[in-house]
A and B are shown apart, each in its own frame.
Chain A
Amino acid sequence: MGGLRGTLRFFLGASVLLLGACSHSTSEQQTIRFWAMGREGEVVAQLLPEFERKNPGIRVEVQQLPWTAAHEKLLTAFASGALPDVCQLGNTWVPELTALDALADLNPLAASSPVVDARDYFPGIWDTNVVAGKLRGIPWYVDTRVLFYRSDLLKKAGFDKPPRSWDEWEHVLAAVKKQAGASRYAILLPLNEFEPLLALGLQQPEPLLSDDGRWGRFSSPGFRRALEFYVQMFRKDWAPSLSNAAIANVWTEFGRGYFSFYITGPWNIEEFKQRLPAERQRDWMTAPLPGPNGPGASTAGGSSLVIFRSSQHAQAAWRLIEYFSEPAVQVRFHELSGNLPPRRTPWRNKKLAGDVYVKAFFEQLERARTAPKVPEWERIVNEMQLAAEQVVAGEIDIEQATTVLDARVDAILEKRRWMLARKKSP
């Protein structure tokens, strides 16, 4: 026994020595720290071995953050100087971290890159990463909202094609509701989700904020038109006035025909495929969002990859971003996560080109439009939804709602105006 233990100890000791020697011999090796969120954090682990094989000098250390804690973690890491080298960032957070001056300017790196070609990216998505003329992130995957609909119920109501314009949409909604009866609805618009109304607002010619994001402009005729269109869906009983907490299970309800239209994002393709019963699988489809006159715009969401200014390994971090941006890697990333690529080349791959459900997204992405890029946006859009909810509940009318909303948004943007005025004057 004693002999065996001794031998073991010898081998252990020797391997420790060897390991030590290894790390000494490659002292020029760099370790970059990469923060990724949610599902992506799990999936990237399978993409990294190939990157490390191609770039023997770089080792990537992934840390996985849950989405719910990510924002706070980023801000505290910024305050304590503990940010990683490269990070996945929801693209609505890019303006906020730019305001903190935490993000590196990627213009010079992207300009000379053989892989990252701005022209290949969907313009609306690329644009979310350009704040005040500087490129702060490279899109990693995209998220936009389209219509998911029950093709069989539409057919029953007399339509074999999804609506393309608001007029057509109204006709279809009215007909579907007529078929569905009092206890069912034509469309589900959860009252605590701002994306549908935001998409309708982005379809309008007027911007939602004016003068470089200094003032709210929700009382513009365009947004009022969008709000009216949104509210009438509840007034006419096409949509139930429910928050999504009141819907026990959207997939089951969709399968049962509780509603025929649902505005949602790409992750739901996989969910609908898995959760709808087999006999319902031929009865649903996706379509681009209808606009006021013909196909309309939608939101430009998704995640970007950013490099923090505090990073000592910006070059190595950029290599990682380039690797994730390679079309072949993006196809593989799509296979692993279901996320949609932000550039057009990977969409030619037959896996994506042959998928009937993602086709609507491809079309929609060409018309994805950026929301105003101010750090306060998330709060503003929450206020917008609250105002809409109040109109739906009948507490205030559209006129009041947009006026109050503008006043609230102007108050939220007060600090920003002060900052901008100060930046100019000194």
Chain B
Amino acid sequence: MRVPGVAWAFIAPALLVIGIFFLLPVAAGFALSLTDFDIYALADLRNLRFVGLDNYLHLLGAPLFWQALGNTLYFVVVGVPLSLGLSLGAALLLHARVARFTPFFRTALFAPVVTTLVAVAVVWRYLFQTRYGMVNYALGHIGIEPLDWLGDPRLAMPTIILLAVWKNFGYNMVIILANLQTIPEEVYEAARIDGASSFQQLVHITLPILWPTLMLVGILTTAGYFQLFAEPYVMTQGGPLRSTVSVLYFMYEEGFKWWNLGTASTAAVLLFALMFAVTWTFMRMTKREGTA
């Protein structure tokens, strides 16, 4: 098919903007990942060395990078299902016919999404404070010894997951709720006449109709959770014992704290490759579901 010149003229502005502000930086980032750009190279470009794939080999052999990758995967694998489950549950509860004060609850559950993370982090740090925190105080009443939520390397990531899930589930909840409200009442009515229980209605009607939406929010949430950064940045600064360092946090430290832009770009490329693979798999799954 021949694209007429007029069509090119129409899309040229958009292409130009995408080219300058997206493609060019991405290409530059990839080029940087093949060099050892650092503070010395900033002083004098002659100090820049082309290192080929050395950065990649170095990162793939660095325990700290693997730890960051492991932490990120932990966050995604636990955080995404938890977040989606909570969103779905909350949406179903809000949609239930017996629910009262729905506008109030809808707003309350959505509120964390629109509050500033930094402000939230301050409150959470008080809540999870080891000696005076409300959480340990409450746990104390049921006989559980105080836990060092943010200071114990085994507990820090779960605490970050709790924060992220609480902060984000409202967003998906609203999307799912909107979809729920589009399901015609007649379908349920027919099912009830056929004698379907509430659980059967949920499994055979609600979930199949919601499926495309769930996939969409699943993909978006996964892509978002892979880019974990702000939560550990404000809560733990990657500690204790680097148990909350995510790939993005690792990248930030390499790039902006230590100014090793070469290594940081390499981490970015690797994260991109990983996210691309995961998202692509998801897409394949939805397509197969769609055609089945």
Contacts and interface: CB of A to CB of B under 8 A. Distances in A.
B236 A395 contact: no
Contact of A393 (B42, B129, B241): B241
B130 A389 contact: no
Interface in B208-267: 235-237, 239-242, 256-259
A99 B43 contact: yes
Interface string A344-355: 000000000000
A389 B129 contact: no
A390 B243 CA distance: 11
A278 interface: no
A96 B151 CA distance: 33
Secondary structure at the A interface, as helix, strand, loop or mixed, is helix
A101 interface: yes
In this complex, which of B125, B129, B259 has the most chain A Cβ atoms within 10 angstroms of its Cβ? Answer: B259
B70 interface: no
B241 A79 contact: no
A102 B132 CA distance: 48
B40 interface: yes
Interface string B92-125: 0000000000000000000000000000000001
B40 A99 contact: yes
Contacts of B151: 241-243, 245-246
Interface in A230-255: 241-243, 245-246, 248
B289 to A, nearest CB: 44
Secondary structure at the B interface, as helix, strand, loop or mixed, is loop
Contacts of A99: 39-40, 43
In this complex, which of A375, A378, A390 has the most chain B Cβ atoms within 10 angstroms of its Cβ? Answer: A375
Contact of A192 (B235, B237, B259): B237
A100 B125 CA distance: 39
Nearest to B242: A386
Contacts of A248: 126, 129, 131-132
A75 interface: yes
A82 to B, nearest CB: 14
A376 B43 CA distance: 15
Interface in A361-396: 375-376, 378-379, 386, 389-390, 393, 395
B153 interface: yes
Contacts of A375: 39-40
Contacts of B125: 245
Interface in B39-85: 39-40, 42-44, 47, 49
A389 B39 contact: no
Given A246-B150, A379-B258, A100 B39 contact: yes
B38 A415 contact: yes
Interface in A98-150: 99-102
Given A248-B129, A415-B36, A75 B42 contact: yes
Contacts of B40: 99, 375, 415, 419
A378 B257 CA distance: 9
B269 to A, nearest CB: 21
Given A72-B256, A191-B240, A192-B239, A393 B153 contact: yes
Interface residues of A, number: 29
B241 A390 contact: yes
In this complex, which of B44, B130, B235, B240 has the most chain A Cβ atoms within 10 angstroms of its Cβ? Answer: B240
A22 B215 CA distance: 70
Nearest to B43: A100
Contacts of A51: none
A75 B258 CA distance: 12
Contacts of B129: 246, 248
Interface in A31-46: none
Contact of A395 (B130, B132, B239, B241): B241
Contacts of B150: 243, 245-246
A375 B131 CA distance: 39
B239 A100 contact: no
In this complex, which of A72, A79, A245 has the most chain B Cβ atoms within 10 angstroms of its Cβ? Answer: A245
A75 B43 CA distance: 10
B39 A96 contact: yes
Nearest to B131: A248
A78 interface: yes
A75 B240 CA distance: 29
A248 B123 CA distance: 12
A246 B42 contact: no
A415 B55 CA distance: 13
Contacts of A246: 129-130, 148, 150-151
Contacts of A245: 125, 150-151, 235-237, 239
Nearest to A422: B47
B241 A389 contact: yes
B17 to A, nearest CB: 23
30 contacts: A72-B256, A96-B39, A99-B39, A99-B43, A100-B42, A101-B43, A101-B44, A102-B43, A191-B239, A192-B240, A242-B130, A242-B148, A243-B150, A243-B151, A245-B125, A245-B150, A245-B151, A245-B237, A246-B130, A248-B126, A248-B131, A376-B258, A379-B257, A379-B258, A386-B241, A389-B240, A393-B153, A395-B241, A415-B38, A419-B47
Interface of B: 36, 38-40, 42-44, 47, 49, 125-126, 129-132, 148, 150-151, 153, 235-237, 239-242, 256-259
Given A246-B151, A379-B257, A390-B241, 12 more contacts: A72-B256, A75-B39, A96-B39, A99-B39, A245-B151, A245-B236, A246-B129, A375-B39, A378-B258, A389-B240, A389-B241, A415-B38
